[in-house]
Structure 1
């Protein structure tokens, strides 16, 4: 008989108070957040009618956690820190209501879409007075150290939703808070690079001086990318290594010019595809093949992003539309 393979376990885990007796729900919830995140205490003025759902999705070394629950106050205490084996950072944002966080004697009052980075190695408090609908991204300390020059700055570090790259980071947070599974739409390495680049640009924006050097590096990186638009799976890490800079320096160079690595690569690929589609000698080549030659492995994805950028489908563009 042919071997029967068990289905691969789902990377999505879930805890819910549904089916738990009302009197035991808050205790169940404390156990859930300790299992999903780390050792913390939790209280709620809605304890008699408390309800909550927590979903956790592993994406390589990161974890995307969606929380929907009643009002609550969460405390990371010295005793909880002493019981924890791992001490990650958490990047947290609410999708719909205001809240505040306290750490190292500092308080940050946050709006929906504002993101805050908190260090689980030091005590903190999270206060959700209007209920919870948030995303909490668990970030390993080593990963954060790759992106931030000063990862252990004291106090909550905020990326404001209406300031600089905080706008893009906040939009990503709200999307993940509403649909954590959307994190699977991107290759894990690309999501990790995209998130790290936005985190670096939002919390440690590059200084204005030395613009000429930054522009020179940006131009060099773009030249390297133009030579690789036909290669699927081009990574920021590989490009940085070829350019002789760190991934953080690479992403800073793109951010200083108002762009990102992923956005620049996509734009260069689309420009190249638009040029090839208009070449008479390539009229016999299928649209999907043109997309493949410009690094788009999926034909439907190529058609979708091309129409978004150019306003018409690739076939119509080829006809002069």
Structure 2
């Protein structure tokens, strides 16, 4: 899940790096600024969406007409977040200069050029256009229109995407990846430039669900911290969830409890105390953990482990409605 030029002899690094970038992104010209090329790519596949973290020395990356003819149209829209350095991006007759914390969209179906000033570090999401669900589709009007991802909705998406690499693989990964892909694409669709609405940024429920799924182990996660990450008020966040089955607080609690069920029923966790499992699932107070678990499932965490160890999340426990 990682490419690193330090893993090969110096004389082979340029060719290795060029081919690695082309393989992990699209065919393009890779031109390091100096004789000593250094670079690293960490990557993860989430359904049919690809996440890339690429860092290296000063470069120019150029996608030419000949590259497109040779490699075809990948039918992807790319979301770029700049973590380090300054980069000038050109596509569709527009030029943007990006610094750390900025983001923009670019399209590999048409020529583009990236010119870095010094070292580079990007996080890039490569998304199938057909899954974005944009009413007007994707066209050249949405590319190379930079924005800030230092806070607000774009900042929340940036931190979510950054948390995906390096990957953390677990059992049940395929189903989790498909759900995560849906959440990611729903969130990103809100960042695609459209006609000005004049209203506040739209916070998709899918983004909140994805943030909860990635950060529920943090005991400080709450509706307040999620609202702050998305750049909206807590009352606005509650309005977004007004028509949902669960409130944001209940969503966080349920994610933690379901993780606890999986751990309590897993043979791999037999040597861990109930309190340790609670802490790992974002419920560090043993008394509170036992109380909310019993209220949700009708048995205490310890009783669940004694009765159903080895059955995991599919154990026949009595689940109470909320």
Q: TM-score range by the shorter chain?
A: 0.5 to 0.7
Distance in 2 (alpha carbons) for counterparts of 1:69 and 1:80:
22
- Shift in CA distance, 208/182, structure 1 to aligned 2, threshold 3 Å: farther
Q: Which deviates the most, 167-176 or 123-132?
A: 167-176
Residue by residue over 1:163-209, the C-alpha shift from the partner in whole angstroms, topping out at 9 and shown as x without a partner, is: 64112122224434xx3315878921232122122212223478357
Equivalent pair of 2:84/2:100 in contact (CA under 8 Å): yes
Counterpart of 1:268 in structure 2 is 247
Residue by residue over 1:35-74, the C-alpha shift from the partner in whole angstroms, topping out at 9 and shown as x without a partner, is: 111110011222x211112232211101111212211110
Counterpart of 1:202 in structure 2 is 191
TM-score by length of 2: 0.61
- Shift in CA distance, 295/41, structure 1 to aligned 2, threshold 3 Å: same
Cα distance, 1:126 vs. partner?
1.3
Structure 1: runs of 5 or more not aligned: 1-11, 222-232, 234-255, 274-290
Distance in 2 (alpha carbons) for counterparts of 1:63 and 1:40:
18
- Shift in CA distance, 171/272, structure 1 to aligned 2, threshold 3 Å: closer
Counterpart of 1:167 in structure 2 is 155
Distance in 2 (alpha carbons) for counterparts of 1:134 and 1:37:
13
Mapping 1:7-86, distance limit 5 Å: 12=1, 14-46=2-34, 48-85=35-72, 86=74
Within the candidate set 118, 122, 127, 1:130 is matched to 118
Distance in 2 (alpha carbons) for counterparts of 1:42 and 1:151:
26
Residue-pair matches, total: 243
Distance in 1 (alpha carbons) for counterparts of 2:129 and 2:50:
13
Counterpart of 1:314 in structure 2 is 289
Distance in 2 (alpha carbons) for counterparts of 1:137 and 1:73:
19
TM-score by length of 1: 0.61
Distance in 1 (alpha carbons) for counterparts of 2:185 and 2:96:
22
Residue by residue over 1:65-110, the C-alpha shift from the partner in whole angstroms, topping out at 9 and shown as x without a partner, is: 1212211110011110111132422212122333231111211222
Counterpart of 1:110 in structure 2 is 98
